[in-house]
Every structure is written in structure tokens, then in C-alpha cells.
Structure 1
Amino acid sequence: MTLLRQRCRLCLFLLLILAVPATPQVSVIVDGKANAKLGSDTKLYCRVETLELISQITWQRKLSPNNENFLTYSKGEEPLHLTPFGERVRFLGNGDLGGSILIPNVTLADEGTYLCIYTTFPSGTKEGEIHLSIWVEPSVEVQLNPVLLGPNPDIIAQCVAFASRPAANIKWHTNGFQYTSKETPTQHSNGTVTVQSQLWMTPSLGLYGHQATCLVSLPDQIFEKEINFSITNIQYAPQTVHVRVHRINEDLPLIECWADGNPPANYTWRRENGSIPDDVAQVKGNLLEHTDDNGLYVCEATNSIGRNSHSVYLYKYTGAIPRCYTGVCISVSLLAVLVILCAVCYYIWEQRNKNSRYE
């Protein structure tokens, strides 16, 4: 009796399983988020996994107050482009499970949320949602404006990322020099943003000529750019003025003058008591040539920031140089050789006498 009851229960359980229809399986697979560069061709991926009959694929854009159908496709037929936007779109589906589309030359107006909808039998409709973000690559430049040498921080450089979407992030590398930065965003009517970053540092001589880097990036590493530059916009008056005398030959000295300054210095030569006459010397920029007059000469280095100078006293020796006549020179030379030989002979004779005494 017990065995019979168990068999009846098993049969009833099997009947219940057969009586309950299986739950249909329809799964729409999409990329939930998509990023596209302005002007690029962008694919929105959509695919279904099901054993049911697919009757139609519909693409919509989420708009307010109602969504907009812009493309439909039924197997064995051509895609229907329902709107001007839909006319731009290419259907990439294979007529079975795939329903992807391609949006060519995307614009900022194409950003938004898209729905990929499959209609199947007997389940009905099943959808997947994709949010498309359009990003705009910024144009980037570094601006160096003149800044005066001084003890207080000043704007050494500006890095500007023009008209990006989303707003760019700007960082600085200064190779160990201390700095601060200040960012200013400007929103444009088309949704793009210009970001300006100011690099504040103390304009010192030690900083002049050093390398720095502006790094610009967009979120999710979709865009990165570096601009390396030299800090050459620190302006200062001519520093120590140097003067050097070169001897071209016995009669023609060349005097050179130079100094470190930014902007580069201009040079002026003068005598202590006034200008240099043309018949005394020739002035060529920082060079003084063929001077034929004793006195104090001053080189002055000047730029738009300031000036500095250095002086040198020149004296041309005109006395007679003793001459060596040939006969006299030969006699003196022979006499010197003779004296040396006598000294050597005397030294040898003394050494021999010492040795003989000890014997």
C-alpha cells in the first residue's frame, strides 16, 4: 500500500511539471555605456540570446516626453529609417540575433540614451539600454608671457585646453621646483569647456632655462597630451659684465665685452671722458678693435630691464726693445758654454782628489 502511494505521488509530481509551461528565455545584450569622439563613426552594440521567434528589432532614442522610434527591422525586409536621424544610421544586424547599428560622423546632438528593443514570440518585447557620451578632443597650448626677475611668485606659464568635452584636467611637472596652480573653466553654449591653468613660481635666475611639462587629460583616459617647454620668459637686467683682451698680433688688440641678460643686451663702448673717435678705435657691437690710444675704456651692457658696465685700462708700450747683434750673441753663448765646462772639470778633479786621500 505504501509503495502504491509513493508511485501515485511521483506520477502526480510529473504531471504538475508537464502542466506548467516553461518560462521563456530572452536576454538582450548591450554595452551599457559607450564613448565616442566627435566626428567619429560609432557602433552601438546590441544582440539577443533566445530560442524564440524574432519578429522585429526596433531602435529608439529616449526623448521627452515620448521616446522616438528611428529605425525598425524585420527579417527578410530592408530596414525602415523613420526619422532624419534614422536616415543617417546604418543597420549592422545579420537578420537573426544581431541588431547593432552604426552612427557615422557623430555630433554633440547624438549624445543621449538609446533603446534596442526585440519583439519575440511568445514573450513580447525585451529591451537593452545604451548611454552614448560624445567627447571632444581639446586643442592644447602653453603660453609664456614676460615676467620680471623677483622674490615673489608670479605667473610663469599658462596651459590652456580649448573647447573640450568633458572639461579637461590639467597638471604640471616642474622637475622639483615648488609651484602652485590655479584653474579657471569657461563654459561654452555648445556644451564644451575651456580650462586655463596658471603656473605660479618664483621667477629666479636658477629657474631660467629649466624644463617644465603641462599634462592635459580627459576622464577614463580617452585623451592625454603632454607639452614640454623651457622657462625662458624670465626677464632681468644684464648681470656681471665681462671684458677680455685678445692679442691678434703685436699691434692690434681685440677687446671683447659680454654679459648675461634677458632680453639679450646691447653693448656700447666709450672712453672715460667721452666717446671714442673713429681714428682711435673701431667699435663693432661688443667688440673694440685696433685701439691706438691709452686710457680707461668702459663697456656698457643695456637691455629694456636695466644696464650694467665694466671698465678696463689699456696702455700701449712703445719703448725700444733691446736687440741682440749676431756677433755679440755668439760670443756670449760660447762664453757661457766654456764656463759650464770648466765647472764640470773642476768638480771631477775635486772628486778624484778626495778619493786619493782616502786611499
Structure 2
Amino acid sequence: MIFRMHVFLICCMLMISCCRIKAIRVIGRSTTVTVGDNARMFCQLLETNEKLTRITWQKRTRETLTNKNFFVITPEGKTENINGLGDRAEFIGNTQEIIGSILLKNVLSLDEGVYTCIFNIFPSGPFETEIHLNVQVPPVVGVTTDVIPVVGESEVTLATCTAAKAQPAADVSWHLGALSHSVKVQTKVSADPEGFFTVKSYLISVASKDLNQQKVQCLVNHISLNEELILDHTLVIHYPPEIVYIRSVNVSATCQVFQCVADANPQPTFTWSRENKHLSSRVDADRLMILLTSDSNGLYVCSASNQYGNGTGTLYVQVFRECTTVCWILFIGILLLLGFTAIYFVWKFYLISRIIKFTSNLTERMWHFEQDPVATDSPRPTRNGRQNVQESITLKNQTHIHQAQYHQQRNQDSL
């Protein structure tokens, strides 16, 4: 009989205990924040009217691997900070409603871990729940070139895009544009002992002169970022001077300035020299000022060099400035002489034409005079008289013809 009573009492106590456990409970919500933000950690005791004696918060993080108290709240709402969090922990709950929520300000990466909210009530004792605080750490990003590539035949790293010290790991990619077919991408992810991830993405290709100053973009995405990060980068390739030439940049009345131009990276240093003669012209880095005198005639050499090689360009100078005045005087004199000679021949031609025309007119008149009829009351000339007149006319004509031929011959001789 006594044994049955004991069994009955034990069963009753178990039933009461089970009912109590099912009725009283603590609820909480885990939270995720970004480093530097504030974390709200909510917890509340439900289904009880028992007296609250204390609310205690514990934490277990990478710094503290076991649960340690860090914050205590009394039924009156007074708080006590323990173990160094100080003013970063603030009570935002309500003891009347048995809400023990706290605000953790300016969250650090080391704050990530498990937080336990414990309600102490009388006479049932403590009830608790665990809250996980996840801290997102945005990456530290940048695009670098550890060793500047030099033009060659083997593959080298052109640039490295890094997203470091992130939690969780960031996603890194490239926007290459026209270089997408000539450049390879290689990505590596690593984690440090503190649980932070570093992602490095490499651009790999054979360094060539054509890649120098090409634009690329590194794209970084992370759960803590509101938008994609775009990092612009310009590729830098080093190569020796390959093309060196000299150009004229300024001309004055007394001198001329030449510039030595070289295609190289980094920019080369320039050295001027003169073939077989001392260089007396003024030199200013890549520029050479040459006086416009005959002493400046000759071959000039510009040498461009950097740490990867050198190249040369040549310039031949021939100055004609000193004979310019004499040449112009001679040229003008020749033009004047030709002009006077042309005028003289035109005048002579005109004069001969006039003489020939005069002679022709005179001959024609005399011919008409001979053919004119003689008046009836005039004495008729005898046959011998007519013959004498005709011979006289013929003689005169021959005289004029000989004179014209004489003048024409003199004209030709003078020509």
C-alpha cells in the first residue's frame, strides 16, 4: 500500500514537472550585422507569473571559448557591466514584461559568437536560450602590381585584385573588354586563423607593348555591401626605347629647336652628340637648339635609354642662311637683264617691221606713178627717155631693198 502511494506521488511530480517545462519557455532571435553597426539581441520569458529575480547575459566568442557573464539586469531595470564591454552593452527590454533584450553598440568582428540570455525566477529557477550573433566584415579591396611586367615571351602577372579580411569571403571578378581573349584570370581564396577570408584574383598574360595603358576593371561583391564595388585599373608594361626620331618644334630668325621623341616605358633619358665635332649647341633634356649658321652644319645624334635598353635617332643639318642675300641679288639682277634684253629685241623687231613696211609702200607708189597716163598737151617722151626713167626707178628699188637687207642682217647679228 505504501509502495503504491510512493509510485503515485512520483508520477504526479513527473506530470507536474513536465507541464511546468512545457509551459515556461524563453524565445530569442539570432541576428546578423556588419562591423561597426549596432546589434539588437532579443529574448523573452513566456508562460509564467513567477517572480523575476535576475536576467544574466553570457557570451562565447573567439576570444572567450567558454561562457562568461558580461551583463546583469535586476528586476528594477538596473544594469551591471562585467568583463570589459562597458557602455557598448545597453538594456532595451522591459522587466515588467520579462523581456531581457539588449543592444550591443559598434559591433566588432571579435563580437561574433553565441550569446546566452538567462532568466532567473522563483521558485522554478533559471530558463535560458542561445542567440547567435553573426558579424559580416566587408573586404578591404585594391588592385596592385607587385612587380611591373617587362615585355617578353613568358606569361607574367599583370595585376592582382585583392578582397582581404572579409567575413564571409567576397566574390571577385574582372571586366576586361577587348582583352578577354588575350588575358587569363586565376583566383585563390585563403583564410587566416581568425576566420577572415582573403580572395586574390590574378590577370595573367604574356607582357607586350600593346597591353601598356589598357583599361580593366575589378568587380567585388559582398553580402555586407549595398552595391558592387568597381575598381578601375590601368595596366603598366615596361619596355625599352624602340622608335627614336627627331622633329622640329620651333623656328626663329636665328635658331631652330629640335625635340628627340622616343617610345619607351618608363620615359628614357636623352643624350645629344655631334658626329666628329664638339657639341656646342644648347641642350635641354630632350631638346636641342641649333644656331642657323654654317658652323652648325653636320650630323647630330640623339640617344634615348632606360634600364631595359636604348635607341638612337639622327638629324642632318645644312644651313644656307649666309648666302641668301647674295643669291637674291643675283636672281633679281638676272631677271632685270632678261627684261631689258626682251624689251630691246621687241624694239628692234618693231623698227625693222616699220622699215620694211615703209620700203614696200614707197615701191608701190613709184609703181603706180609709172603706170599713170601722160597728159595730151605734154610732150611725148621719147623711147630713150622712157627707158631712162624705168632704169632710174629700178635702181632706186634695188637701193631700198639693199638697205632693208642690210638692216635685217645687222639685226640677226646682234641677236
TM norm structure 2? 0.59
2:42–2:101 contact (8 Å) kept in structure 1: yes
Corresponding residue for residue 35 of structure 1: 33
Matched residues in 1 for 2:271 and 2:299: separation?
A: 14
Q: 1:311: which partner in 2?
A: 314
Instruction: Map 1:1-359; keep pairs closer than 5 Å.
Output: 30-37=28-35, 40-47=37-44, 53=49, 55-56=51-52, 57-61=55-59, 70-71=70-71, 73=73, 75-79=75-79, 83-84=82-83, 89-97=89-97, 98-116=99-117, 128-144=129-145, 145-178=147-180, 179-219=183-223, 221=225, 225-232=229-236, 234-246=237-249, 248-272=251-275, 274=276, 276-278=278-280, 281-291=281-291, 292-317=295-320, 318-319=322-323, 320-323=326-329, 324=332
* Larger fraction in helix: 2
Aligned residues: 303
Quote the offset at 1:171 in angstroms. 2.4
Q: Structure 1 120/36 Cα, relative in aligned 2: closer, same or farther at 3 Å?
A: farther
SS of 1:53's equivalent in the other structure is coil
Contact 1:59 1:115 in 2 (8 A): yes
Q: CA deviation at 1:235?
A: 0.5
Cα distance, 1:306 vs structure 2: 1.4
- Alpha-carbon spacing, 1:303–1:120, altered in 2? closer, same or farther (3 Å): same
* Distance change >3 Å, CA 46–CA 289, structure 1 → 2: same
What code does the residue aligned with 2:207 have? P
Contact 1:79–1:91 (CA<8 Å) still a contact in 2? yes
| Higher RCO (CA < 8 A, seq sep 6+) | 1
Q: Show structure 2 runs of 5+ residues with no match.
A: 1-18, 344-415
Deviation (angstroms), 1:26: 7.3
How far off is 1:194 after superposition? 4.0
How far does the alpha carbon of each residue in 1:179-213 deviate from its partner, in whole angstroms, 9 at most, with x for none? 33334455434333444433213323332112222
Q: Secondary structure at the match of 1:288?
A: strand
1:235 alignment partner, SS class: coil
In structure 1, the residue corresponding to 2:173 is in which secondary structure? strand
Higher strand share: 1
Give the distance between the partners of 1:44 and 1:256, measured in 2 at CA: 72
State how far apart, in whole Å, the 1-side matches of 2:209 and 2:33 are.
Answer: 46
1:148 Cα deviation after fit: 0.7
SS in 1 for 2:33: strand
Q: Which amino acid aligns with 1:34?
A: T
State the distance in 2 between where 1:114 and 1:236 align: 59
Tell me the C-alpha RMSD between the 2 structures. 4.0
Unaligned runs of 5+ in 1: 1-20, 336-359
After TM superposition, the score normalised by the length of structure 1 is: 0.67
1:245-283 Cα deviation digits (max 9, x unpaired)? 3562344222222112101022222233x45431xx323
Q: Report if aligned partners of 2:31, 2:40 keep a CA contact under 8 Å in 1.
A: no
Shift in CA distance, 223/72, structure 1 to aligned 2, threshold 3 Å: farther
- Residue 301 of structure 1 and its aligned partner are, at CA, apart by 1.7
User: Cα gap change, 1:252/1:262 in structure 2, threshold over 3 Å: closer, same or farther?
Assistant: same
Q: Highest CA radius of gyration, 1 or 2?
A: 2
> Post-superposition shift, 1:236?
0.9
Query: Could you tell me how far apart the structure 2 residues matched to 1:296 and 1:222 are?
Result: 65
Change (3 A) 1:29 1:222: farther
TM-superposition CA deviations, 1:148-186 (whole Å, max 9, x none):
123443111123344333344332223331333334455
Q: Residues 173, 29 of structure 1: CA spacing in aligned structure 2 closer, same or farther, 3 A cutoff? A: farther
Output the amino acid matched with 1:111.
E
Provide Cα deviations, 1:58-94, integer angstroms capped at 9, x if missing partner: 544469998555545454353465x526766322112
Q: What amino acid is aligned across from residue 322 of structure 1 in structure 2?
A: W
